[in-house]
Chain A
Amino acid sequence: MLTSDYLGVFVLLALGVVTGVGALGASYFLGARRQSPRKTSPYECGIPSEGAENQRFSVKFYLVAVSFILFDIEAVFLIPWALSYQDFVHSSHGVYAFVMGMIFLGVLTLGLVYEWRKGLLDWNK
Chain B
Amino acid sequence: MAERALGLEQIINIVLSASVLPWVFFFGKILFIFTLGFGVIAPVMIWVERRVAAFIQDRVGPNRVGPLGLLQSLADGIKLLLKEDLRPDEVRPFFFILAPALAAVPAAMAFAVVPFGPETTLGGLLPEPARLQIAPLNVGLLYVLAIGSLAVYSIALAGWASNNKFSVMGSLRASAQMISYELAMGMAVVAVILMSGSVDLYDIVKAQTNHWFIFTIPGFIAFLIFVPAMFAETNRTPFDLPEAEAELVVGFHTEYSGMKFGLFFLAEYVNMTTLSAMCVLFFFGGWEFLPFGLTWEGIGYQVDQHWFSWVIPFAWFAAKVAFFLFVFVWVRWTLPRFRYDQLMGLGWKTLVPIGIANIALVAGLITFAGGF
Contact = CB atoms under 8 A, between A and B. Distances in A.
B186 A75 contact: yes
B107 interface: yes
Interface size of A as a range:
35 or more
A53 B90 contact: yes
Interface string B127-145: 0000000111110001100
Contacts of B258: 27, 31
A114 interface: no
Contacts of A83: 193, 197-199
B200 to A, nearest CB: 10
B88 A42 contact: yes
Interface in A41-91: 41-45, 49, 51, 53-55, 57, 60-61, 64-65, 68, 71-72, 75, 78-79, 82-83, 85-87, 89
Contact of B168 (A32, A57, A86): A57
A85 B26 CA distance: 34
Q: Interface range on chain B: under 10, 10 to 19, 20 to 34, or 35 or more?
A: 35 or more
Contact of B30 (A1, A15, A78, A85): A15
Chain A contact residues, majority secondary structure: helix
A19 B142 contact: no
A20 B102 contact: yes
A53 B349 contact: no
Interface in B154-201: 163-166, 168-169, 172, 175-176, 179-180, 182-183, 186-187, 190-191, 193-194, 197-199
B359 interface: yes
A101 B363 contact: yes
A14 to B, nearest CB: 9
Given A24-B259, A75-B190, A41 B352 contact: no
B254 A43 contact: yes
Given A27-B259, A45-B249, A105-B356, A123 B340 contact: yes
Contacts of B348: 112, 115-116, 121
B306 interface: no
Given A16-B107, A68-B179, A79 B142 contact: yes
Contact of B85 (A31, A94, A109, A112): A31
Given A1-B22, A42-B255, A43-B88, A6 B135 contact: yes
Contact of A85 (B22, B142, B340, B363): B363
B63 to A, nearest CB: 27
Interface of B: 22-23, 26-27, 29-30, 34, 38, 80-90, 97, 100-109, 111-112, 134-138, 142-143, 163-166, 168-169, 172, 175-176, 179-180, 182-183, 186-187, 190-191, 193-194, 197-199, 249, 254-255, 258-260, 262-263, 340-341, 344-345, 348-349, 352-353, 356, 359-360, 363-364, 366-368
5 contacts: A11-B134, A12-B135, A20-B104, A83-B199, A122-B345
